[in-house]
């Protein structure tokens, strides 16, 4: 009987930790997505490369902080693909390439949206 209670308690702790991460992840990814779609995309379209580079570099740092924790909970392949898109976007912004920068930013925002949606507890993800 004691083993059963220890197992139930362990499961409850794991689910609680995942729940806290899931909520925090949603907030962080939403903020990153909105910042990329709004402020950074606007700077790229106006070809204000200094502003775009500074803002995107900050998001890149936020991504690396988020990535360290997310690797414990999310699919590694999805995280690596998103990481590659971040790196490509940063390079395009530094190269001052408007079309590729905006295209990669759009791709990145979609990856950030689906990164969280793919880990949600929904019937689509369970089946």
Residue 125 has pLDDT above 70, yes or no: no
How far CA 90 is from CA of 45, 48, 51, 108, 119, in Å, comes to 15, 14, 13, 11, 26
pLDDT at 83: 92
Residue 106 has pLDDT above 70, yes or no: yes
Per-domain residue ranges of the chain: 24-126
pLDDT at 126: 65
pTM summary value: 0.82
- Classify domain 24-126 at the CATH topology level: 1.20.120
Write out pLDDT tens, residues 38-91: 999 999 999 999 999 999 999 999 999 999 998 888 888 989 999 999 999 999
Instruction: Compute the distance between CA of residue 15 and CA of residue 2 in angstroms, rounded to an integer.
Output: 20
């Amino acid at each position: 009987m004691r083993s059963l209670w220890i197992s139930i308690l362990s499961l409850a702790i794991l689910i609680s930790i995942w729940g806290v991460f899931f909520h925090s992840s949603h907030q962080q990814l939403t903020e990153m997505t909105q910042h990329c779609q709004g402020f950074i995309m606007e700077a790229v379209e106006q070809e204000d490369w200094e502003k775009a580079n500074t803002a995107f570099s900050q998001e890149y740092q936020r991504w690396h902080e988020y990535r360290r924790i997310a690797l414990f909970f999310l699919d590694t392949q999805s995280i690596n693909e998103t990481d590659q898109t971040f790196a490509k976007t940063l390079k395009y912004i530094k190269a001052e390439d408007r079309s590729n920068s905006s295209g990669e930013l759009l791709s990145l925002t979609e990856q950030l949206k689906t990164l969280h949606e793919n880990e949600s507890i929904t019937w689509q993800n369970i089946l």
